[in-house]
Amino acid sequence: MCRVSHVNMVKKLAGKAAEAAGTAAKKASKAAAQSVKRQVIDEVTQPLKNAAKDKLSSMTTGIKAKAEAKVQSVVKEQMKKEVKKKFFKK
């Protein structure tokens, strides 16, 4: 009788260990699948991201150049006004 209960305990322990191993394997395979999914998405979207960065960079460069040109023209006009005031004082 005592031997039977020990065998049952060992079977229960082995069952719990197998269940824990199965759960761990499921979690590991799920994590691996998620990782592969993320890699595939990154590979697919990477050209789009790069194109968007390039487009944004070219747009900001153009805007910056226009702003600098505008600032230079405003400064130039201001300098002209100051020179006129100095030479044509009344």
> Taking 90 as the threshold, does the pLDDT of residue 89 lie above it?
no
Q: What angle do CA 20, 24, 29 make, to 5 degrees?
A: 150
pLDDT given at position 1: 47
User: How far is it, in rounded angstroms, from Cα 68 to Cα 56?
Assistant: 18
- Asked whether the predicted pLDDT for residue 3 surpasses 70, the reply is no
Strand segments (E) across the chain: none
Tally: H helices and E strands in the chain? 1, 0
Which of these, 34, 30, 10, 33, lies nearest to 22 by C-alpha position?
30
Over residues 21-30, the pLDDT tens digits come to 888 998 999 8
Q: Give the model's confidence band at 4: pLDDT under 50 very low, under 70 low, under 90 confident, else very high.
A: low
